[in-house]
A = this chain, B = another copy of it.
Amino acid sequence: MVGTPADADAGGVPALGPRQLGVYFALMEAVSLLQHQVEQQLRAEGDLSYVQFQLLARLASAGGDLTMTQLADGVVYSRSGLTYQAGLLEKAELITRRPSPDDERSTLVAITEAGLALVGRVLPGHVEVTRGLLFDSLSDDDLDHLGAIMTRVRDHMRAQPPRSAVPRKRKPSG
């Protein structure tokens, strides 16, 4: 913990909602551990990164095709990054890309049969890992609460102006 009451204002660490900081660090560490395990599973069973899995899952759940921009939303933070990942997935024949007839600037991305099959093959193990690490520790009530909280938080974050929180730059050490 960084800002417990005891050491607040000692060593330059300001006194700032230690309870919230504790929650924040617990959240980040738990998700970090979960994500690491989940990545191991995806790599082992499907040779996929988590980002690639997210892209495939998004395409699998979308009714039809998605444009690159739609596909990127919330998963990848630069267009070139998505182009790179889409290139890999296309080379592995898990997705296809074709120009949109409506707007010829756009690229329509679709998941292939092989892509769907891979998602289907990987998902059980994926759920198994999350169950063992996350859901086994949660009561039904916890699950409801966590779901309500994180859905609200996620929607709030999505609605946020993307770069509102990058203030003036104060160059530090080097």
* Residues of A bordering B, CB below 8 Å: 1-4, 7, 11-14, 16-17, 19-24, 26-37, 40-41, 44-48, 57, 60-61, 74, 77, 91-94, 114, 116-125, 127-138, 142-143, 145-147, 149-154, 156-158, 160, 163-167, 169-174
Residue of B nearest to A169 (CB): B44
6 closest A-B pairs (Cβ-Cβ)?
Answer: A12-B120, A30-B154, A23-B147, A26-B150, A31-B31, A33-B157
CA distance A92 to B173 in the complex (A): 6
Given contacts A7-B61, A146-B23, A147-B19, contact A123 B2 (CB under 8 A): yes
Known: A12-B116, A61-B1, A77-B36. A132 touches B26 (CB 8 A): no
Which of chain B's residues have a CB closer than 8 A to the CB of A136? 156
When distances are taken between beta carbons in the complex, the residues of chain B under 8 Å from A30 are 150, 153-154, 157
Could you tell me if B13 and A143 are in contact, using CB atoms closer than 8 angstroms?
no
Instruction: Say whether A17 contacts B153, CB under 8 Å.
Output: no
Bound Cα distance from A44 to B171, whole angstroms: 8
- Is B14 a contact partner of A124 (Cβ separation < 8 A)? yes
With a cutoff of 8 Å between Cβ atoms, the chain B residues found around residue A7 in the complex are: 61
A143 touches B19 (CB 8 A): yes
Bound Cα distance A12, B26 (Å): 35
Q: Residues of B contacting A170 with CB < 8 Å?
A: 45, 121
Question: How many whole Å from A172's CB to the nearest CB in chain B?
Answer: 5
Bound-complex Cα distance A131 to B156 (A) = 12
Looking at the assembled complex, report how far the CB atom of A148 sits from the nearest CB atom of chain B, in whole angstroms. 8
Q: List 23 A-B contacts (CB under 8 A).
A: A4-B61, A12-B119, A12-B121, A14-B120, A14-B123, A14-B124, A16-B123, A17-B135, A19-B143, A23-B147, A26-B153, A28-B34, A31-B31, A32-B74, A34-B157, A37-B165, A44-B166, A93-B173, A133-B153, A138-B153, A145-B145, A145-B149, A146-B146
